[in-house]
Structure 1
Amino acid sequence: MAVSLNSLHYIYLLFIIVIFLFMTFKKDITIVCVLGIFTLGIFATGSISSAITGIFSSFALAINELIGTILIISLITAMGVVLQKTGINETMVKPFTKLMKTPTLAYWIIGIFMMVISLFFWPSPAVALIGAILVPAAVKAGLPALGAAVAMNLFGHGIALSGDFVIQGAPNLTSDGAGIPVGEVVSASVPLVLIMGIVTTVVAFYMIKKDMKTGLLKLDSSEYDINDTDREFQSLISPSLKKIFAIIITLTFAIDIVLMYKLNLQGGDATALIGGTALIILILITVFIKKKEASSLVISYIVEGFTFGFKVFGPVIPIAAFFFLGDSGFLSVFGEVLPKGSSGLVNDLGVFIANAVPLNAPIGATTLTTVGIITGLDGSGFSGISLAGSVAKIFGIALGRGTATLTALGQLAGIWVGGGTIIPWALIPVAAICKVDPFELARRNFKPVAIGLVITTILAMFLI
């Protein structure tokens, strides 16, 4: 698995370091990412014009990859506009406000709901469902939107996705790379996912409560003021009709969940079902309330949703464009200029590190965590975890044991970092639904996830 690194690998690594330094000091990284794309283009093609063209092509690639997420956020937002104007959202969240009496209950309830739905359908559709119904209730209970976003991230994109015990997409990829049965990876991941989940969620909760007490984290309910409804619409819909619509909408989304299970819909397919349902709900309510003006109103709500969606995703596209170049995106943007046998800049760096370290249990566990983190830097979580399995196989053979544990550890690290808790553009769906800054959310997730990875890696050393 020896990999020959060239200047492109070192340039990419250098810019990753600079990007994380900028993020640490709360500086905008857009220009750095664009400069990184341009620099890679210069060294890859030797042409200034090709490098400039590469910037545009990488942006187009990023938009193409993100368009599904932009669509679901925009449609859910558009549906939310009419629900808020009519006051139906207030009726919908009332049952949950009875459960979410305090910020503490709101944090754990929203997290557990997110985890359960994500286990069966992956986090993307769960974000839409939780965001539309539970987040406003959580904010009303006194939990800041940023706290709700952290809970959704850690329980959904962290615990549920890193274990992936039900759908088993992640363990299938890593087990194939490691050459072991998927059941061994699933079994080995249970204690690791458990300790990682407990540590991260508890640390994050402690930080949220502490910052709420000191005033560093304040409650801003203006975005979720469920009483701020349009008076004209309020006069056109009675309280009893609000209850009927609330029940119909809740049942409709419940039917969606049943269909996801029956039709085995996951990921993008499940998200598409939720998005289409949101659009139908938007149209039906608007037609019922404003028959003659329905067409123009529906268009205005959709435009409002897309305005919000692209406003949120706009700052993320340059970042996503840079990190996509770490994977297969480099080939489509700059052509076949990587060394022969290369599997992408990020994966090459991971293999190089794996081949450069000595072999024992502590080093093996540390290396697999590092490889997982590096392969997760592209922000997908899944693209590099098969590499983690391959590296785990090498280490397991050399050690004579621990292949399954090492594989599970690499899978966990890759998904926690790249699957939507640390890389800013990967956690955009949650940030958008909760109406918080994705970079602030990434910074708030960083410490709990870092502490969790350290403790989980130490645990893995004893399990190998």
Structure 2
Amino acid sequence: MGVELTALHYVYLLFIVAILGVMLMRRDTSVVCIVGIFIIGLMVKGSVYQAVSGIFNSFIYAITELLGTILIISIIVAMSRVLLATGINEAMVSPITKLICTPSQAYWITGLLMMVISWFFWPSPAVALIGAVLLPVAVRAGLPAIGVAVAMNLFGHGIALSGDFVIQAAPKLTAAAAGIPVQSVVSASVPLVFVMGFVATATAYWLLIRDTQPGGSLDNKVIELSNDKFSLYAKENDEMILGVLSNTMKNSLAVIVPVLFFLDVGIMYVANLQGGEATALIGGTAVFILALISLLAHRNQGLEKVTTYLIDGFKFGFTVFGPVIPIAAFFYLGDAGIDQILGKVLPSGSQGIVNDIGLAIARIVPLNPGVSAVTLTIVGAITGLDGSGFSGISLAGSIAHLFAAAIGSGIATLTALGQIAAIWVGGGTLVPWALIPAAAICGVSPFELARRNLIPVVSGLIVTTIVAMFLI
């Protein structure tokens, strides 16, 4: 099972450590990633020109993989521009402001709604729905834009996706690899998911409250600057057009917009749409809303303004994703993407560089409940570094099967633990390009969001691993 580690694996691991170190130093990682891609290309191809070409090919691969996310973010931003410019957004969120009056209420209500919607439709479309409706309300209640992003991220890409209780795509993969029923993994994951979720979200909340105190990194002055970012795209290249629509029309559209999105939720449920299909429905609805309001508000210039809003949305989307593409390109090399970027280079039996490293760690550790739990957490986290969260969970299930056979118990708990670690790290709370949807909707840096998530997520993984030791 797996292959022996080679110099390629160790060099890749060395660059992972270097990239994480540069991130912690709050420096840009693009150059490190580009050098890493070049060195790996040189090692596997033995040709300078092919290694140089590999850099460009890796960027193409990364953009292709991220394109759906780039599009939905760009379209939601374009729609938000016209809502803000016309004042419809103000009318739309005014009723909700009565329910969300404090930063604490904004954090927990935003997070819990994100979690519930993500259980049924996965986080990507949920981010678009929650961001479009609740972000302005939460910001007005005093929660920093980075706080809204943290809440959506931890509750959606963390709690909801790692448990995946409704759709059950994740537990099906891990259960199949472990050779146990899906329901066993779901049942075993319930206490672990909620321990992980409680520790991570409570820690993040405490850090937000601490940092919003006078003199903190998110004090009032910083909050104002941060919260302005999410609406800058509405003011940058277009004058406000308040007063063009009558109050009756504005209030009517303020009702129609959320109703259309709620209809999307109903359609997703009835038609069983998840993931990319659900995101496509949300994106198409946003384009329809953008066109309708632009034509009504700008009248004779409506046709041209639709294009202008779309262009501005795409500018925003690619501006946000630009710094992320090099790092995504590097980490995609750690998965099966390396064969598509550099040609068929992985040896027979390899599950990808990152998964090979995780499997090698699992092979050299002593087997007892405590060490097994720690190892599954580490292996899951390592396999999540490719930014998918799902690519390594089958490996986690396989390793859980081996460990449980050796120690005589705990296969479901170990499987669930590996699944949780992989998805929390790779599904969108720590890997910058995986958490871009929440960061982009809120107008914050994905790298800053990853740094703010680091302590809560690591704390949650430590506590969850300790709890799992007693459940094995």
Q: CA deviation at 1:225?
A: 5.8
Q: Aligned residue for 1:215?
A: 216
Could you tell me how far apart the structure 1 residues matched to 2:216 and 2:142 are?
13
Conserved? CA contact 2:145–2:230, under 8 Å:
no
Gaps of 5+ in 2: none
Structure 2 CA distance for aligned equivalents of residues 225 and 28 of structure 1: 25
Q: 1:444 aligns with which of 440, 452, 455?
A: 452
Query: Which of 362, 370, 377 matches 1:354?
Result: 362
Distance in structure 1 (CA, Å) of the matches to 2:367 and 2:186? 24
Q: Could you say which residue in structure 2 is the equivalent of 1:319? A: 327
- Is the 1:371–1:388 Cα contact (8 Å) retained in structure 2? yes
> How far 1:223 moved relative to its partner?
3.2
What is the Cα deviation at residue 224 of structure 1? Answer: 4.9
1:271 aligns with 2:279: yes
Report if the CA contact (8 A) 2:30-2:323 is conserved: yes
Query: Matched residues in 2 for 1:132 and 1:265: separation?
Result: 20
TM-score by length of 2: 0.96
Counterparts of 1:87 and 1:145 in 2: how far apart (Å)? Answer: 20
Q: 1:433 aligns with which of 430, 437, 441?
A: 441
Equivalent residues in 2 for 1:230-245, closer than 5 Å: 233-245=241-253
State the match for 2:412 in structure 1.
404
Q: Secondary structure, in 3 states, of the residue corresponding to 1:292? A: helix
Q: How does 1:27-46 map to 2 (within 5 A)?
A: 27-46=27-46
Q: 1:289 to 1:11 in 2, by over 3 A?
A: same
Q: Give the letter for the 1:133 counterpart.
A: V
> Is the contact between residue 93 and residue 134 of structure 2 (CA under 8 Å) also seen in structure 1?
yes
Q: Does 1:384 align with 2:392?
A: yes
Partner Cα separation in structure 1 for residue 17 and residue 182 of structure 2 = 34
**1:305 aligned to which of 298, 303, 313:** 313
SS at match of 1:219: helix
The answer to whether the Cα contact below 8 Å between 2:62 and 2:329 also exists between their aligned partners in 1 is yes
Q: Displaced runs of 4+ in structure 1, greater than 6 A?
A: 228-232
Tell me, yes or no, if the aligned pair for 2:2 and 2:350 is still in contact at 8 Å.
no
Any idea what SS the aligned residue of 2:143 has?
Answer: coil
Give CA-to-partner distance per residue, 1:439-463, whole Å, 9 cap, x none: 1110000000001000000000000
Q: Please say if residues 145 and 434 of structure 1, whose CA atoms lie closer than 8 Å, have aligned partners that are also in contact.
A: yes
**1:64 has 2:64 as partner:** yes
Give, in whole Å, the separation in 2 of the partners of 1:79 and 1:65.
24
* TM-score, scaled to structure 1: 0.98
Quote the Cα distance in structure 2 between the aligned partners of 1:322 and 1:176: 29
Amino acid at match of 1:424: P
Name the structure 2 match of 1:288.
296
Contact 1:86 1:234 in 2 (8 A): yes
The alignment status of 1:373 with 2:381, answered yes or no, reads yes
Q: Quick check: 1:139–1:224 contact (8 Å CA) kept in 2?
A: no
The 5-angstrom pairing of residues 111-126 of structure 1 reads 111-126=111-126
Contact 2:100 2:141 in 1 (8 A): yes
**Is contact 1:120-1:166 (8 Å) kept?**
yes
Whether 2:30 is the aligned partner of 1:26: answer: no
User: Per-residue deviation at 1:336?
Assistant: 2.0
Match of 1:415 in 2: 423
C-alpha displacement of 1:2: 4.5
Asked whether the 8 Å contact 1:2–1:355 carries over to 2, the reply is: no
Query: How many residues were matched structurally?
Result: 463
Q: Distance in 2 between matches of 1:200 and 1:386?
A: 24
Q: Deviations over 1:69-99 (max 9, x none)?
A: 0000000000011101100001111122111
Is 2:257 the counterpart of 1:253?
A: no
Unaligned runs of 5+ in 1: none
| Aligned positions of 1:320-339 closer than 5 A | 320-339=328-347
| Cα distance change, pair 231–443 in 1 and its aligned pair in 2 (3 A) | closer
Could you report, residue by residue, the CA deviation over 1:17-39 in whole angstroms, capped at 9, with x for unpaired residues?
00111111111110000000000
